[in-house]
Amino acid sequence: MLGKSPTLFVLVLTVTFAFIVTPRLALAQTFTDLYNFCPSFPCADGSQPFSSLVMDSAGNLYGTTAAGGSSAYGVVFKVDSSRTESVLYNFTGLADGGRPFAGLLRDNNGMLYGTAVDGGAFSNGVVFRIDTANKETVLHSFRGGTTDGCFPYQSLVKDQPGNFYGTTFACGASNQGTVFRLGPKGKTTVLHSFKGGRKDGAYPFYGGLLMDAAGNLYGVTLKGGSANKGALYKLTRKGVLSVLHSFAGGKKYGCYPQGVPAMDGAGNLYGTTMAQPRRVALPTRELSGRWTGKAQKLSCTTSPEARWTVPLRLLAYYWTRTATSMATQQPAGTRTRERCTS
């Protein structure tokens, strides 16, 4: 932590989801199941919703699924106040993108904006818009390489002039992800390329960015920091990145943070880490294209390199590439199997 900087509060999660209330409030809580997505392929309504939800003034909910739909590359969906689900758009995994993991951003005109980790002109993911007629437009196709990012897992934030900000999990100058800005006219600028190490993060995964009133961005990365177990960072409007906290791992401090940081009125930051979860089934795709749900085990007390080549790149969709082309995406000397081992 920095000397007198705002306090960081971290909730260490060891289960997939938890709903916690005090005994005094317990009787006032009601859980309602609004909609159940299809449990097995093929799923026309969508499957595997990883994203957060956004609500309009009428109480309709909007989100994404990473799979399912008419082409099995995910959907943008709406659940109305009567609990009826409708698919607004089916991704094909081609030029329009595919596999959206992030939540949506909705503007005052009802337009929906998001990211998808697959597809696009270069098969490295896209930033997309869905208009009120449910027409999809690709605002940016990620090129990958050293001058652009690839595989955007996180959601977008937007400033007053209309610029969008987001992250990519990989590519960039050090192939450890980027923070980017997408202008109103479609120009994309890499604001920061993560390089890992004590003074930087690496591989921003699920979640998104927080923007404060001054336009500074806050986020978390899965790796990087002094212990290489994740970092909370701040990126100023001038493009200067500082690590506010390095996660040390273990049962006390947590590791591998994900999500969107929250900030209170005093400037304190709140977030979660993925510390020592039990075995969970993660969607993976083998090089053959066959989808499986393999049990993986992550631990703060075990070096992530013992279990990952690059953390959770099993979800980064290099799978349509040949082994040779995958090798060209990695730093020299790091060609390995792109999947987790339990």
Worst-scoring range by mean pLDDT, 27-31, 87-91, 216-220, 320-324? 320-324
Burial of 176 (0-12, 13-18, 19+ CB in 10 A): buried
DSSP 329: T
Task: Tell me if 303 is assigned to some domain.
Answer: no
Domain with residue 68: its CATH number is 2.120.10.30
3-state SS assignment for residue 336: coil
Has residue 27 got a pLDDT over 80? no
Q: How many CB atoms lie within 10 A of CB 254?
A: 23
pLDDT the model gives residue 317: 30
Q: How confident is the model at residue 300 (pLDDT cuts 50, 70, 90)?
A: low
Render pLDDT for 41-67 as a digit per residue (tens, 0 to 9). Answer: 779 999 999 999 999 999 999 999 999
pLDDT the model gives residue 327: 30
Cβ atoms 112, 129 nearer than 8 A = yes
Residue 222 or 341, more confident: 222
pLDDT the model gives residue 204: 97
Residue type, 63: G
Cα 48 from chain centre? 14
User: For residue 233, what are the β-bridge partners?
Assistant: 219, 243
Q: How confident is the model at residue 292 (pLDDT cuts 50, 70, 90)?
A: very low
Cβ atoms 268, 5 nearer than 8 A = no
Task: Tell me if 156 is assigned to some domain.
Answer: yes
Q: What would the mean pLDDT of 9-35 be, rounded to a whole number?
A: 55
pLDDT the model gives residue 82: 94
Q: Could you give the number of structural domains in the chain?
A: 1
pLDDT the model gives residue 301: 52
Domain that holds residue 69: 8-13+42-274
Has residue 258 got a pLDDT over 50? yes
Has residue 155 got a pLDDT over 70? yes
Task: Tell me if 25 is assigned to some domain.
Answer: no
Q: How confident is the model at residue 253 (pLDDT cuts 50, 70, 90)?
A: confident
Handedness of CA 229, 259, 66, 128 (dihedral sign): negative
| Phi/psi at 8 (5° precision) | -105, 125
Q: How far apart are CA 248 and CA 84, in angstroms?
A: 44
Task: Tell me if 20 is assigned to some domain.
Answer: no
Q: How far apart are CA 275 and CA 286, in angstroms?
A: 26
Cβ atoms 85, 135 nearer than 8 A = no
8: Cβ contacts below 8 Å, ≥ 6 apart: 1, 232, 244, 245, 268, 269, 270, 271
Nearest residue to 283 (alpha-carbon basis) of 35, 68, 70, 85: 68
* pTM assigned to the model: 0.77
Q: How confident is the model at residue 275 (pLDDT cuts 50, 70, 90)?
A: low
Token output for 141:
């196709």
pLDDT > 70 in the chain, percent: 72
According to the per-residue pLDDT averaged within each range, which of 242-251, 271-280, 295-304 is highest?
242-251
pLDDT the model gives residue 250: 78
Task: Tell me if 90 is assigned to some domain.
Answer: yes
Q: How far apart are CA 267 and CA 265, in angstroms?
A: 5
Task: Tell me if 37 is assigned to some domain.
Answer: no
Task: Tell me if 3 is assigned to some domain.
Answer: no
Average pLDDT of the chain to the nearest whole number: 79
Nearest residue to 191 (alpha-carbon basis) of 160, 167, 225, 162: 167
Task: Tell me if 132 is assigned to some domain.
Answer: yes
Token output for 187:
């120009």
Render pLDDT for 81-104 as a digit per residue (tens, 0 to 9). Answer: 999 999 999 999 999 999 999 999
Cβ atoms 73, 98 nearer than 8 A = yes
